[in-house]
Structure 1
């Protein structure tokens, strides 16, 4: 190993290899492009997967899909509104496998995308009704990941049967079943998490992660 390191250290570019080529990024805004990856080692039938996703996403305008290999796919939308709507609907799945989506921005290369995060709508069950507030949702959600939204009214309350939050999660970790919350002088109370998605287990084979409890 040391010998290989020494040889690499002595490696030098040839005159031709050392020539820099100036390239210019397009002067347009970031295009409506999503890069997706299915969380499975099994080879996905991409043609069938795209056909299913078209019916699920129901984009107002058509979009193109290109198979990038390794269960990765590029979605090129005609409309940014369609792209943003698909992101809002995520996570998506095909054949019981989670589809991770990444919004491609200028200067990014597909090979550098980690595909380790995905947003989820999470229902928090068991809170006292008057504690179902935006502030509480932000506090609980911050222990899980980056909170994108709390489903509350203009006064900051959610008076339904549960509080709903949208959190960007690290999908390399198992999903949490709930949290202990302390309600002032009333002591600690357990609240359950229920994840919006499909009614089956989603197995991320590459990361040996089982994401269960998704409803």
Structure 2
């Protein structure tokens, strides 16, 4: 399922609106600088793209504008030396994003947080009421 937010971004930009989180699905180490150069050339952006390495092979990608952040993850799956590179939007307010996803699918009953301190979590669990007589959507707007 691919989630496309229709929420209007506020005019008081703090910068994180143009960020995305990427992860290379591989166990061994890769040449990060080479990977960054390959993706920069494949994405055809006029604005600069910056990469910041995080823990557990996660990479923070800072795009030059919001259009590139929306366009690039939806183009296709990205491969680097036969390894999948997943790219998802960075969301500062995780509770708001969970509510948006849940409400797009059905009615949110509960949200279960693994880390209650507001830190980085591996996952969150949503309990949502859905109509089982209707098929699940592939893309949620």
Structures share a fold, TM > 0.5?
yes
| TM-score category, normalised to shorter length | 0.5 to 0.7
Within 2, Cα distance between the matches of 1:37 and 1:57? 16
Within 2, Cα distance between the matches of 1:93 and 1:113? 23
Within 2, Cα distance between the matches of 1:88 and 1:100? 11
Runs of 4+ in 1 over 4 A off after TM superposition: none
1:148 matched to 2:135? The reply is: no
Report how many aligned residue pairs link the two structures.
94
Gaps of 5+ in 1: 1-26, 115-138, 150-215
Gaps of 5+ in 2: 1-11, 95-117, 124-134
What are the equivalent positions in structure 2 for 1:48-197 lying under 5 Å apart?
48-108=34-94, 111-114=120-123, 142=136, 146-148=137-139
Per the alignment, residue 41 of structure 1 pairs with: 27
Within 1, Cα distance between the matches of 2:22 and 2:119? 10
CA contact (8 A) 1:35 1:110 kept: no
Q: Which gives a bigger RCO, structure 1 or 2 (Cα 8 Å, sep 6+)?
A: 2
Per the alignment, residue 28 of structure 1 pairs with: 13
Q: CA deviation at 1:113?
A: 4.7
Within 1, Cα distance between the matches of 2:17 and 2:67? 12
Distance 1:96 1:82, change over 3 A: same
- TM-score where L is the length of structure 1: 0.39
- TM-score where L is the length of structure 2: 0.57
Within 1, Cα distance between the matches of 2:52 and 2:71? 20
Structure showing greater radius of gyration is: 1
Deviation digits for residues 130-189 of structure 1 (CA, Å, limit 9, x no counterpart): xxxxxxxxx6xx4xxx4229xxxxxxxxxxxxxxxxxxxxxxxxxxxxxxxxxxxxxxxx
Within 2, Cα distance between the matches of 1:56 and 1:113? 29
